Chains A and B, each alone.
Chain A
Amino acid sequence: MKATNRKTNSLLHLRGITKRFPGVQALDGVDLEVRSGEVLGLVGENGSGKSTLLKIAAGHQNADAGEIVLDGRPVSLAGPADALNRGIALIAQEISVQPQLTVAENLLDGRLPRRAGLIDWRRMHRQTEAELRELDLDLSPHTTVGALPLHQQQMLSIARVVRRRPRLVLFDEPTSSLTADEVKHVYAMIHSLRAAGSAVVYITHRLREYFDLADRVVVLRDGRTVATREIAGVDEQELVRLMVGREQVQIFQRPAQKDHGDFESAALRLEVRGITSARLADIDLDVRAGEIVGVAGQAGSGRTSLAETLFGRWPYSGSVRVAGREVRLSTPRAAIDAGIALVPEDRKGAGLVLSMSVHENLAMASWRRTSALGVRRPGHERAGTTRVVRDLLIRTAGLDVPAVTLSGGNQQKVAIGKWLLHEPSVLILDEPTRGVDVGAKAEIYALVEELASAGLGVLVISSELLEVMRLAHRVLVMSNGRVVGEEAGARATEESITRLAFRAEGAPEPGSLEVRNT
């Protein structure tokens, strides 16, 4: 045993890691071996279990079953602090800095130099300056971190981990909020970590970064390890195939009949003219009855702002017509009354009241329609919600169980289903299949198509390009709050959409392929 460890230089070995969340098997017997001095790319689509695996490796979560072997000895991690003491550090997706404190305090992270028991500010700032120089970061130790732009906060949160020279650094999408220049900084930090003998596990939504950085890649799909490869032995297409799986390739197959439709003569459901707000600039947009319009773009491009503005959440200038009527979308209620429905991207935080029953959640959006003088009509309501549960194949133990007990896919069907009783003209779906398993994904796609052919105008916003290409008759590409391009759904490819988004941004990464943006 010892001998093999020395030969492969195994630093950390996760064996048979299993983790279940309510309604989802996040990890199902995953094996992952990290060797000293290597950069290991962890590849997988949204919901494949990558982040959960890193959280378990860094002591942020406990596995239900499985073994963590560090330096050939099984260990149990008591928590993030314990993992850090053993040399394992996680740089999470969420930026973790204290916005109220200064750069120096954040960087030194509680280990402030003292004199006679009191904090020695002068020495602290000198020390920070030296360290920042070494890390090649152009920051002042005195700045309050909250005042820094997000990407600099992200650099700082990486720096405060890297400066401790951990033996294993787990990066979970460190570059998603960074500029091209800063991405190079992160690369440099990773190279120097590796040169010092540390190991790195790296997750990114830009596949190209795996080829820039990784020695090996491990591919996860639906909570299982499906492949381990030397990076030299794979190309991008192969990676995508491994990530997505044959089963899913089929789900993302565009139905052929989709491109025969012609919407020129169909009635206009939504006409947006010149919408401008704090985050949007001069958006024009038409959606016709039966049409599915996809909206793609990087995180922060204004995708979600567009959805929320059309749902009355933000002030705007410009005009909106729904089914031919001029409307003013000043509140969500005004938008609902105008005939717009939104299925928000944050299902648990905004789509459902998880503590309430499936019935209540389904009925909620149409309470005002189904009631008489503010008093509910239970029989009438139940007839409606029973029908929705049946039509949408919502798998639930009953109408009266809390929504929290449903799986992600079925919760999402409830979040969509509640609008069916309201009969809107326009349905906006923001990340309709985030955190949803494969089977439910296929059902949701079929449902969206069915709703469109029933005459709704549908707007699908998604960071999953495959999803947009699968569903949309027409794809709009957004960047910096503008619509920067449009492509017929049949012609859209990942490359063409990515090119449109990046060309507008002016970022020098034309070859980069954003496949997922978790």
Chain B
Amino acid sequence: MFAVAGLLLVVVVFQLVTEPNFGSSSNIANLLRTSAVPILLVVGMTMVILTGGIDLSMGGILSLCGIAYAKMVIAGVPTSLALVLTVLLGAALGFGVNGLLIGRFGLSFFVVTLASASVLGGIALLWSGNRQFDMSGDGLARALGNDTLGSLLPYGAIIAVVTVVLAGLVLRYTIFGRSVYAIGGNQEAAQLSGVGGARVIASVYGVSGACAGLASVMMIGRQTIADPTAGSSSIVLYVVAATLLAGVTITGGAGSVYGALIGTAFLQVLSNALALRGFNNSWQMVVTGAILLVAVYLDRVRLRLAARRG
């Protein structure tokens, strides 16, 4: 985590010195704005990965929730109510579909979330008729996804950071939070201590779904459209990479949501830097994938060192 924080600092300083546009208030606001959605998703993903699982369906839930929100708003549901319902829908999908199948029935998290990613993403396409909806008139979504407090602080980024802190507190100070770590560390021992049954596992997928639901509305606000393919597989890859980058172990039980925040910040600053230098999106994909490999390799090295130390 500290290594990545240091690296982040190096990139920021390097950018500040060599790239005059980097420090401009519009670029900083933009950087924060584009970070909000990934940070939210990373919070959910961190919870899931801490239990030793992974949520590949996050993109599917994101797409479906976005379409649901758009449909509700177009049908005349007040936007604030639609927002609440969308977050609840995400939570219900995560808890009720992924969570129950994985936690209660013991199916493989990989297979379950891969399958539900496909099912939910497909439903989003069917329901939208494979169309995008113009949501530029939606003030609430725009506030969440685009508007800033003053000239520098997007509301979305504030919400994302508050979510990180909240998740950090829950993970540290509640039984639920410690059960998440215990399950990831050793599920059998956790269960034999009476903590972390099916409910805890189902709940982390619920949290993950809720984060995707909230993120879907932010995304609509930022893009001014509701897109049934908003949650593409590349966004899931990006979120997993950001989570693993700064110390959340893929096998679960170790890492923190703050580390995940730093990992996301690093990837964001890096892609911002690439964009400012004229590299397009495709390059950012290449870099993200490569960094994911490096992160997983470092994770292994760390585990091996820890094993040797005993």
A residues at B contact (CB < 8 Å): 21-23, 311, 331-333, 336-337, 342, 344, 349-356, 360, 364-365, 367-368, 371, 374-376, 378, 404-405, 418
With known contacts A332-B191, A350-B192, A374–B175 Cβ distance under 8 A: yes
Are A374 and B193 in touch, CB under 8 angstroms?
Answer: no
Are B178 and A354 in touch, CB under 8 angstroms?
Answer: no
B residues at A contact (CB < 8 Å): 173-176, 178-179, 181-182, 185-186, 188-195, 197, 253-254, 310
Which residues of chain A have C-beta atoms less than 8 A from B191's C-beta? 332-333
**Apart from the given pairs A336-B193, A350-B192, 5 other A-B contacts in the complex at a CB distance below 8 Å:** A21-B310, A332-B193, A342-B192, A353-B181, A374-B176
Which residues of chain B have C-beta atoms less than 8 A from A376's C-beta? 173-175, 178
Are A368 and B186 in touch, CB under 8 angstroms?
Answer: no
Partner of B185, one of A23, A332, A344, A354: A354
Whole-angstrom distance between the alpha carbons of A337 and B174 in the complex? 20
Which residues of chain B have C-beta atoms less than 8 A from A21's C-beta? 310
* Cβ of B182 to closest chain A Cβ, rounded Å: 5
Which residues of chain A have C-beta atoms less than 8 A from B310's C-beta? 21-23, 404-405
Are A353 and B186 in touch, CB under 8 angstroms?
Answer: yes
Instruction: Show 11 residue pairs from A and B whose CB-CB distance is below 8 angstroms, ordered by the A residue.
Output: A22-B310, A332-B194, A349-B189, A350-B188, A353-B185, A354-B186, A356-B181, A360-B181, A365-B194, A367-B175, A374-B174
Are B175 and A371 in touch, CB under 8 angstroms?
Answer: yes
Which residues of chain B have C-beta atoms less than 8 A from A371's C-beta? 174-175
Which residues of chain A have C-beta atoms less than 8 A from B254's C-beta? 355
Whole-angstrom distance between the alpha carbons of A333 and B254 in the complex? 24
For the complex of A and B, the 7 pairs showing the least CB-CB separation, nearest first, are A22-B310, A353-B185, A336-B194, A355-B185, A353-B186, A333-B194, A364-B193
Which residues of chain A have C-beta atoms less than 8 A from B253's C-beta? 353, 355-356
Whole-angstrom distance between the alpha carbons of A191 and B197 in the complex? 53
With known contacts A333-B197, A353-B253, A311–B192 Cβ distance under 8 A: yes
Chain A residue with minimal CB distance to B198?
A331
With known contacts A367-B175, A376-B175, A351–B197 Cβ distance under 8 A: no
Which residues of chain B have C-beta atoms less than 8 A from A23's C-beta? 310
Are A349 and B186 in touch, CB under 8 angstroms?
Answer: yes
Which residues of chain A have C-beta atoms less than 8 A from B181's C-beta? 353, 356, 360
Whole-angstrom distance between the alpha carbons of A351 and B191 in the complex? 10
Whole-angstrom distance between the alpha carbons of A79 and B78 in the complex? 69
Whole-angstrom distance between the alpha carbons of A404 and B310 in the complex? 7
* Cβ of B252 to closest chain A Cβ, rounded Å: 9
With known contacts A353-B182, A355-B253, A356-B181, A344–B192 Cβ distance under 8 A: yes
Are A353 and B192 in touch, CB under 8 angstroms?
Answer: no
Whole-angstrom distance between the alpha carbons of A353 and B254 in the complex? 11
* Cβ of A462 to closest chain B Cβ, rounded Å: 19
Are B178 and A367 in touch, CB under 8 angstroms?
Answer: yes
Are B185 and A356 in touch, CB under 8 angstroms?
Answer: yes
Chain A residue with minimal CB distance to B252?
A355
Partner of B189, one of A311, A353, A374: A353
Chain A residue with minimal CB distance to B310?
A22
* Cβ of B293 to closest chain A Cβ, rounded Å: 24
Whole-angstrom distance between the alpha carbons of A352 and B253 in the complex? 13
Are B174 and A360 in touch, CB under 8 angstroms?
Answer: no
| Most-contacted residue by chain A among B192, B195, B197 (CB, 10 A) | B192
With known contacts A360-B178, A367-B178, A376-B178, A352–B186 Cβ distance under 8 A: yes
